[in-house]
Amino acid sequence: MPDPQVLERMRDDWNRRAGEDAHYYVAFGRRDQDEEEFFSTAADVVRGLVADVKRLRGRDAALEIGCGPGRLMRPLSRYFSEIHGVDVSDEMIHLAYERLRQTPNTFPHHNSGSDLALFPGDKFDFVYSYAVFQHIPSRDVVFQYLREARRVLKTGGILRCQLNGLPPHAKQYDTWSGVRIAPGEILEFTREQNFQLLALEQIWTQYMWITCRKRAPGWLEAAPEEPDCRIRNISNAHTGEAAAPAAGPLAALSLWIERLPEACDLNHVAVRVDGLPCRLTYVGEPEKDGISQVNAALPEGLRTGLVPVEARWRGRALAPQAWVRILPPAPAVPRIATIADGINLLSGTRIVTGSVKVTMLEVTSPEGFQATVDGKPALEIDAFCADPIGGRYEFNFRLPPDTVRGPHAVEIRLGRRTFAPLGIEVA
């Protein structure tokens, strides 16, 4: 059972954050956001959630775990007859009542911080959560919520949530830097809970996503032992091209499978490329033509050329063997993706806090990072691996102490490579 002291600390800390600057701590984009800007930051998250809403058989009721002031509830309310939200912070719920006053089918609730005891079983078609579990310091609380989500879902209902999938570290977790959950823990949990696991994406990042469907007892036993499937096409999962590199961030395939059994999921389907096991990431719903998409990340050590692809279902062949072309991986080319204020991310290149965040892709040697501002060395450089698969790193540093207001040039070096100067405006 969750530790009551952990729940009390969660409530106290989030009440304090709600009083200090709720919009900032929920959306983490900029201090003192107005309401319009705050709600606009939900757009990308909502698009991702709506993609899984399309999996639903019904749209009577939805539930958000950790609803805060209602940033996601308001736009998602149009898809459901009623939408509920729970939050450990009664201050956040008070704000949600104010923000959602003009949206009559929304219902925010204060809860214990670890369960969904307010609701009966089999009530919701859709349960979702974003930027909540990553702040919870207790593994017991996270998995209690996941078990409760399954209980309150209707049979056939969908759970879509984001967890902190970063590699574990030795530091003590708190209510901001929460517990980290490994992909293997999700695979084991869904097997134990008889959950159909449909997506396990962005592993080893802070934004690991899972999608699960609640199935009736015996759903696997009722599935066909020898399905009549065919792999109609294989493409690169990222580019749609008819080939994939053997390694790197684009090393993934989409298998387009005809007549895929409805019970197929990441725990019971296996894909091998040239005899090597792949890591499955996604199983899609069948399209109108009866074809479903199955995504798989390619294994290490794969040879190049035309190689066989096999799909298996519960230990047996799912479909006849198919073929795909594997290309030599392109060399990693480090590049700068963004430069922004290190805390007020929505400020962009207008630096208002004295700190700068540089995000780079395809970085293989982060220790070689250097930064200068108008030729003066940056201070307190810190490197954070945001995505080991894509080589995405965030480099944070402070401006030199004598940096005055106005325009400045930031020069970035990574090992022997020097990048074109980047302009910032210091406020």
Q: Residue 319: which CATH number?
A: 2.60.40.10
Q: What's the pLDDT tens digit per position in 183-196?
A: 999 999 999 999 99
Same domain, 180 and 34: yes
User: Is the pLDDT at 226 greater than 90, yes or no?
Assistant: no
Please report how the helices 139-152 and 4-27 are oriented relative to each other, as an axis angle in degrees rounded to 10: 80
Phi, psi of 91 (to 5 degrees): -70, -40
Q: Report the length, in residues, of the chain.
A: 427
Locus of tokens 């078609």: 125
Query: What range does the domain containing 80 cover?
Result: 4-214
Same domain, 321 and 372: no
Locus of tokens 């579990």: 133
Q: 224 in a domain, yes or no?
A: no
Q: 220 in a domain, yes or no?
A: no
Same domain, 349 and 318: no
Report in angstroms the alpha-carbon separations of 177 from 5, 131, 218, 291, 381.
17, 11, 39, 41, 20
User: Is the pLDDT at 52 greater than 90, yes or no?
Assistant: yes
Same domain, 259 and 194: no
Domain count, the chain: 3
Q: 186 in a domain, yes or no?
A: yes
Q: 221 in a domain, yes or no?
A: no
- Asked which of 30-34, 79-83, 350-354 is least confident by mean pLDDT, the reply is 30-34
**What is the distance between the alpha carbons of residues 126 and 120, in angstroms, rounded to a whole number?**
14
Write down the H helix ranges in 1-136. 4-27, 35-40, 43-53, 73-76, 90-99
Strands 316-317 and 243-245: unpaired
Same domain, 278 and 342: no
Q: What's the pLDDT tens digit per position in 153-175?
A: 999 999 999 999 999 886 789 99
Q: 378 in a domain, yes or no?
A: yes
Q: How confident is the model at residue 220 (pLDDT cuts 50, 70, 90)?
A: confident
Identify which of 118, 106, 112 has the alpha carbon closest to the alpha carbon of residue 62. 106
Same domain, 34 and 127: yes
Same domain, 159 and 252: no
**What is the distance between the alpha carbons of residues 414 and 355, in angstroms, rounded to a whole number?**
19
Burial class (CB in 10 A: 0-12, 13-18, 19+), 218: exposed
Q: What's the pLDDT tens digit per position in 312-349?
A: 998 889 999 999 999 999 999 999 999 999 998 888 89
What CATH number is attached to the domain comprising 371?
2.60.40
Same domain, 245 and 207: no
Q: 219 in a domain, yes or no?
A: no
Contact status, residue 31 vs residue 64, Cβ threshold 8 Å: no
Q: 225 in a domain, yes or no?
A: no
Q: What's the pLDDT tens digit per position in 108-157?
A: 999 999 999 999 999 999 999 999 999 999 999 999 999 999 999 999 99
Same domain, 266 and 375: no
pLDDT of residue 224: 77
Burial class (CB in 10 A: 0-12, 13-18, 19+), 326: buried
Q: 223 in a domain, yes or no?
A: no
Tell me the average pLDDT of the chain: 95
pLDDT of residue 221: 84
Same domain, 14 and 145: yes
Domain termination residue (choose one: 327, 351, 369) = 327
pLDDT of residue 170: 66
Domain termination residue (choose one: 214, 238, 270) = 214
Q: Which residues contact 305 (CB under 8 A, 6 or more apart)?
A: 325, 326
User: Is the pLDDT at 406 greater than 80, yes or no?
Assistant: yes
Who has greater pLDDT, 225 or 119?
Answer: 119
Same domain, 69 and 205: yes
Same domain, 151 and 245: no
Domain termination residue (choose one: 214, 245, 279) = 214
pLDDT of residue 187: 98
